[in-house]
Amino acid sequence: MDVEDFETLHLVAERQRRPPEEVAAQLFEQAALEQEAQAWTLRCWERLSPRQQQIAAHICRGDSTRQIAQELNISPTTVKSHVEVILRKFGVSSRVALRVLLAPWDLNAYL
């Protein structure tokens, strides 16, 4: 940790009226949890077929079933089937939840 980080940690601890060690421990715990969540999301993504990855990217872009079907030259029923599998693999119940989960990712290469 450099001097600036050390000073910032102490400033935050002072504002929160907590010991710097406690603040640092909480920050490390949050970082570890975030890293674990990102690794889990990546594992889920890798379990998708290339077509499912494509459809997931379209979902994250906000495309409708009809738009995805037209762009990928497949039926809306096929899109819906893929969407169900994608949501199940990520353990989410909606397209919105999938978009939130993958929001930090740049999926343009899959479009």
Tens-digit pLDDT profile for residues 69-110: 999 999 999 999 999 999 999 999 999 999 999 999 999 999
The position carrying tokens 């060690």 is 21
State the burial class of residue 77 (Cβ atoms within 10 Å of its Cβ: 0-12, 13-18, 19+). Answer: exposed
Q: Of 40, 57, 60, which is closest to residue 49 (Cα–Cα)?
A: 57
Please tell me the distance from the alpha carbon of residue 98 to that of residue 88, in angstroms, as a whole number.
10
Tens-digit pLDDT profile for residues 6-38: 788 888 889 999 998 988 888 888 989 889 989
Q: Is the pLDDT of residue 4 over 80?
A: yes
Please tell me the distance from the alpha carbon of residue 21 to that of residue 36, in angstroms, as a whole number.
22
Domain ranges of the chain: 1-46, 49-111
92: helix, strand or coil = coil
pLDDT at residue 95, rounded to an integer: 98
Query: Quick one: fold of 49-111?
Result: Arc Repressor Mutant, subunit A (1.10.10)
pLDDT at residue 62, rounded to an integer: 97
37: helix, strand or coil = helix
